[in-house]
Structure formats: structure tokens, C-alpha cells
């Protein structure tokens, strides 16, 4: 599948989060668990927004948020999580097994 990143998101990724498109691709490829949705009512979207936490090839931990379409992933954001996402992701992955 291919990745699409809007111009505005690409600018935010580069300027605010210092995350490259190649790092996002690495995180997808290195992911060991599934994708999850945010169950909070004010975070529901149609189609659903998914997220996961994974490392890049250089060991940088990223939280990647995206929408999955038939032929591509539309990236909404990606950043180094400081909100407890890695622990929550690990817990969700364990529960899904």
C-alpha cells in the first residue's frame, strides 16, 4: 500500500515533529501489533482513524495516526509519544492475542 501525506500534514511533520515520510514507512514495516481506533466519542471519524506505536530502523518510537482507504494510507500525524501511548499500545496488543 502507498502512503499519502497532505501538504499541511507534511509541513507539520517536518517543522513540529521532525518526522520524515521514510520514518513513517519504517514504523509501518517494523510494527509488531495491530491497528487500533480511539474509542472516545469526540475522536470518532468515518472512515475510522487508526493508530499504532512502533520503532523506526534507528530505534525512534513513533505514534502513527492514519486513515486506511482501498489503495492507500492517508497519514494524519506521526510523533514521538509522551502521552503513555506505547504502554497502552503494548497492553492492547496483549489483549488482542
pLDDT-above-70 percentage for the chain: 99
More confident residue, 28 or 38: 28
DSSP state of 46: S
What is the Cα–Cα distance from 78 to 48, expressed in whole angstroms? Answer: 17
DSSP state of 41: G
Q: Write down the pLDDT at residue 97.
A: 62
Query: pLDDT tens for residues 51-89?
Result: 999 999 999 999 999 999 999 999 999 999 988 888 888
Q: Write down the pLDDT at residue 68.
A: 93
pLDDT mean across residues, the chain: 91
Per-residue pLDDT, averaged over 36-50, amounts to 84
Amino acid at each position: 500500500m502507498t502512503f499519502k501525506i497532505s501538504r499541511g500534514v507534511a509541513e507539520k511533520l517536518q517543522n513540529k515533529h521532525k518526522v520524515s515520510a521514510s520514518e513513517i514507512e519504517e514504523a509501518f514495516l517494523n510494527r509488531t501489533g495491530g491497528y487500533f481506533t480511539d474509542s472516545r466519542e469526540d475522536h470518532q471519524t468515518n472512515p475510522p482513524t487508526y493508530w499504532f506505536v512502533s520503532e523506526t530502523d534507528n530505534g525512534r518510537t513513533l505514534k502513527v495516526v492514519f486513515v486506511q482507504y482501498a489503495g492507500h494510507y492517508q497519514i494524519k500525524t506521526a510523533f514521538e509519544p509522551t502521552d503513555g501511548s506505547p504502554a497502552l499500545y503494548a497492553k492492547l496488543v496483549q489483549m488482542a492475542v
